[in-house]
Amino acid sequence: MAAMAAPPPAEPPVPPGPCRLSLLAVEPLLFLATVSLGLQGPLATQYLWDRLGAEHGYSDRNSTESSGCGDGNATADPLRQEVEALVSHWNLYINLGGFFVSLFSVTLFGAWSDGVGRRPALILPCAGMALQTAIYLLVMYLELHVAFFLLGRILSGLTGDYNLILASCFSYVADTSERRARTFRVAVLEACLGTAGMVASIGGGQWRRAQGYINPFWLAFAASLAATLYAAFFLRESVKQKKAAKLFTLSHYKAVYRLYTAPEHPSSRWKLALYTLAFFLIVTVHFGAKDIYVLYELGFPLCWASDLIGYGSAASYLAYLSSLAGLRLLQLCLEDTWVAEIGLISNVAGLVVISLATTTPLMFTGYGVLFLSMAATPVIRSKLSKLVSETEQGALFASVACVEGLCSLVSTGVFNSLYPATLHFMRGFPFLFGAIILLIPAAILGWIQIWDSKHDYNHFQDASLSPTKD
């Protein structure tokens, strides 16, 4: 009995066990934060459209819903073009303001969390998102100038914004998972992103149509506040050995820099760079395709109504869940890299089908072929995590979150410019372009895997020959 009593005192400094993780996991926090973000983004854009349109005398009577499908009448309206330009500019200011502020705060807080723990790096951005939503609500209630949207986004960016939540959640999983199970745990987190996005996109649009903007934004505020409280009172700390660390110091930025310039193992440097490049290309194509799905579906010859667009959005988000299931099954017989390659094949094939879609069944066939398209990113996140030490996970995922923010900006610029420029010869060309780009990360992942296999074989061969030399 005395021997049985020894383990409990040793338990607190050790990371939580599987049973506790199932009760005190980080997935609910990510789900709540993603629901909040998923509600805010589209609703804020629609509010800007209605508000700026009303200020300039533009009525919804002239919207595309009443102007026909693909006949160009709506875009010929100069007043509509002026409102579109204003909304686009304000969206650009808000997104750029949030990105550049969070670029510095994410790398600061991410590396800081390696010392002080993950919970502070989760509480701060969740509280910042709640503050941003509260400012958005004040703008709507008091009809303040839309520039206050930018103020709310900057304040959220100062606390790390959604990118820090992503970085801290993935760092938390890296802290609390075994290396063999890490890819699947990361995939579970990404499945939370898809599920929350599906709930927010479908529910938010229907709710706005029925009750306006205020009530959906109250739900976004409640979700971000609930995420803050969950991180503060229910989430167990994942860092094994916490230590006091100054927040405002250049050493945190140097920690991120050292990841790519002076890693523990020399081969890790180029692997980190190549995996990061592959991740950048995959996520850029993913974001870029999502940006133009609705435009593609609204235009001729598909001419989808709002109900079909909602089903299409749900189908695109279902790829997160089907990729999770496919990843789990394929891991039973394949190495992670080859699972990622199959995921990229699914992504390429789906985009090619969508680029040629002229009917509704063919468009949904394209969505169906994308069923494994989200299997590559969790594999890359896991591979990156295994290249650095336990005390560098926060710095690593902070840099990955910054790359993801850059992906969003690049994809918006490239795909939204490419779509109108190629309408005259092939409406689906941006999807075909994305499929071609995905061949680059597929080559990168395959080359690294082959190089590792040869390196391991040579090492094994040298080890087997060494006894004979003795």
CATH 3.40.50.450 is the classification of domain 266-451 = no
Give pLDDT, residue 67.
44
Give pLDDT, residue 2.
41
Mind listing the pLDDT tens digit for each residue in 156-206?
Answer: 999 999 999 999 999 999 988 888 889 999 999 999 988 898 888 777 777
Give pLDDT, residue 7.
44
Intervals of the chain under pLDDT 70? 1-24, 59-77, 81, 262-267, 306, 455-470
Mind listing the pLDDT tens digit for each residue in 350-386?
Answer: 999 999 999 999 999 999 999 999 999 999 999 999 9
Give pLDDT, residue 421.
86
Give pLDDT, residue 98.
86
Burial class (CB in 10 A: 0-12, 13-18, 19+), 76: exposed
Stretch(es) of the chain classified as CATH 1.20.1250.20: 26-69+77-240, 266-451
Topology (CATH) of 26-69+77-240: Growth Hormone; Chain: A; (1.20.1250)
